[in-house]
């Protein structure tokens, strides 16, 4: 046997030995088994996976501090109930009892540690009556009743600037809607809908001064923009109406509601109105149904619809 053949034979048998000696450990680790030297047998264990926001928090398992910090995986835990506590300085601790089952992974990956004293940052630079955040454009809209102006800034309060005049409504707005073309902001309370123009129209006889539309006694619940950024869909306790955004435009009844607390949703992407309402059935009982009206038309088609409704109302 040459020296190379000897080396090769040694390597071969070493490889065979490593394979058969290492395989039980690798498989037991994979399957979650732990060798218990006291009982001299493999016991199936479980795993706890912990992720926190923020990370680097201390972990106590049955009151014993673990060496590693979050994010952390605790392997080879014998099946039992454990007291898990997570601590991070200046944050509220998180604690709970965890049951580890054999062969299973207990995942705690959505732990948020809330600060004891949150860091509060003032964003407005002027007086503030109300505000609204548009997540899409990542802008904050500030309404200031004192100087009748709308201001904007980014989400950090930077680039704070006055952008448009604003008419105050009382009580303060209960909701805001930015028009799909981002040119107009509507805000409303129970009896008023106000429109503010964020950019002056450059030309044409298009209204660009803020104005308020009144809905006395209507009990407005919500207002939506049509995708044309010109029509509004208003939802009150009694009616679903449509109207143009001009001060002298009439309101057109789309639906007279039988129930005061109907659920209403207007999908601007498809200009489709969904609402629930009662309807009397043949058996004389009232049943709640979900209805849909497609308003996904060009403006003139919407006007046709409004016209049809007007006729119906006239009848």
**Interacting stretch for another protein, rule CB under 8 A, among 18-26, 64-72, 197-205, 207-215?**
18-26
CA atoms of 15 and 19, how far apart (whole Å): 6
Supply φ then ψ for residue 302, to 5 degrees.
-60, -40
Give me the least distance between CB of 280 and another protein, in Å please.
47
Stretch that binds another protein, among 28-36, 81-89, 263-271, 273-281 (CB under 8 A): 28-36
CB 91 within 8 A of CB 31: no
Other beta carbons within 10 Å of 134: 15
- Figure out which of the listed residues 9, 55, 105, 281 binds another protein, where binding follows CB under 8 A: 105
Q: Contacts with another protein in 32-91 (CB under 8 A)?
A: 32, 45-47, 49, 73
The piece of 17-25, 122-130, 226-234, 267-275 that touches another protein (CB under 8 A) is: 17-25
Query: Three-class SS of residue 256?
Result: strand
CB of 36 to another protein, least distance (A): 16
Residue 131 structure tokens = 């505000």
Residues 6+ apart with CB under 8 A from 198: 150, 163, 164, 182, 183, 184, 185
Q: List the one residue from 31, 155, 286, 290 that touches another protein (CB under 8 A).
A: 31
Q: Please state, in angstroms and rounded to a whole number, the distance separating the CA atoms of residues 131 and 140.
A: 7
Per the structure block, which two tokens stand in for 20? 């058969």
Residue 26 or 286 having the CB closest to another protein: 26
Task: Measure the CA–CA gap between 94 and 86, rounded to whole angstroms.
Answer: 5
> Closer CB to another protein, residue 27 or residue 301?
27
268 C-beta neighbours (distance < 10 Å), count: 16
Contact between 4 and another protein per CB under 8 A: yes
Q: In this chain, which of 6, 9, 22, 310 binds another protein, going by CB under 8 A?
A: 22
For 43-96, the DSSP string reads EE-EEEEEEEESS--EEEETTEEPSS-SSEEEEEEPSEEEEEEEE-TTB--EEE
Q: Of residues 54, 93, 103, 115, which one binds another protein by CB under 8 A?
A: 103
Q: Which two tokens stand for residue 254?
A: 């789309």
Residue closer to another protein by CB (options 50, 178) is 50
Q: How far is the CB of 81 from another protein (least distance, A)?
A: 18
Check residue 24 for interaction with another protein (CB under 8 A): no
12 scored as a contact of another protein (CB under 8 A): yes
Q: Does 23 bind another protein (CB under 8 A)?
A: yes
Task: Tell me the site size for another protein, rule CB under 8 A.
Answer: 26
Nearest residue to 196 (alpha-carbon basis) of 138, 149, 242, 241 = 149
Stretch that binds another protein, among 3-11, 87-95, 193-201, 221-229 (CB under 8 A): 3-11
Kindly tell me which of 11 and 95 has the beta carbon lying closer to another protein: 11
- How far apart CA 255 and CA 41 sit, in angstroms, is 74
Stretch 106-135 residues interacting with another protein (CB under 8 A): 107
Stretch that binds another protein, among 13-21, 53-61, 114-122, 224-232 (CB under 8 A): 13-21
Do β-strands 161-165 and 175-178 pair in parallel, antiparallel, or remain unpaired?
Answer: unpaired
Q: Can you give the binding site for another protein, defined by CB under 8 A? A: 4-5, 7-8, 11-12, 15, 18-19, 22-23, 26-27, 29-32, 45-47, 49, 73, 103-105, 107
């Amino acid at each position: 046997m040459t020296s190379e053949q000897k080396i090769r034979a040694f390597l071969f048998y070493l490889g065979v030995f490593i394979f058969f000696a290492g395989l039980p450990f690798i498989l037991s680790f994979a399957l979650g088994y732990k060798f218990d030297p006291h009982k001299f047998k493999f016991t199936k264990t479980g795993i706890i996976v912990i992720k926190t926001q923020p990370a680097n928090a201390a972990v106590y398992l049955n009151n014993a501090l673990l060496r590693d910090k979050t994010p952390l995986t605790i392997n080879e835990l014998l099946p039992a109930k454990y007291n898990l506590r997570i601590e991070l300085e200046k944050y509220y601790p998180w604690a709970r009892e965890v049951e580890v089952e054999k062969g299973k992974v207990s995942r705690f990956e959505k732990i948020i540690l809330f600060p004891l004293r949150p860091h509060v940052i003032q964003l407005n630079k002027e007086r503030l009556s109300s505000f609204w955040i548009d997540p899409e454009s990542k802008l904050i809209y500030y309404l200031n009743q004192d100087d009748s102006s709308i201001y904007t800034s980014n989400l950090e309060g930077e680039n704070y600037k006055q952008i448009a005049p604003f008419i105050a409504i009382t009580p303060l707005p209960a909701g805001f809607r930015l028009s799909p073309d981002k040119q107009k902001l509507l805000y409303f309370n129970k009896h008023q809908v106000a429109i503010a123009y964020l950019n002056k129209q450059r030309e044409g006889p298009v209204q660009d001064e803020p104005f308020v539309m009144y809905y006395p006694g209507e009990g407005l619940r919500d207002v939506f923009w049509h995708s044309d950024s010109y029509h509004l869909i208003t939802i009150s306790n009694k009616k679903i109406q449509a109207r143009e955004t001009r001060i002298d435009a009439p309101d057109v009844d789309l639906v007279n509601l039988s129930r005061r607390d109907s659920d209403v949703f207007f999908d601007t992407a498809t200009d489709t109105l969904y609402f629930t309402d009662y309807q009397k059935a043949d058996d004389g009982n009232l049943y709640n149904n979900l209805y849909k009206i497609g308003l996904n038309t060009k403006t003139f088609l919407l006007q046709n619809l409004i016209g049809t409704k007007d006729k119906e109302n006239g009848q």
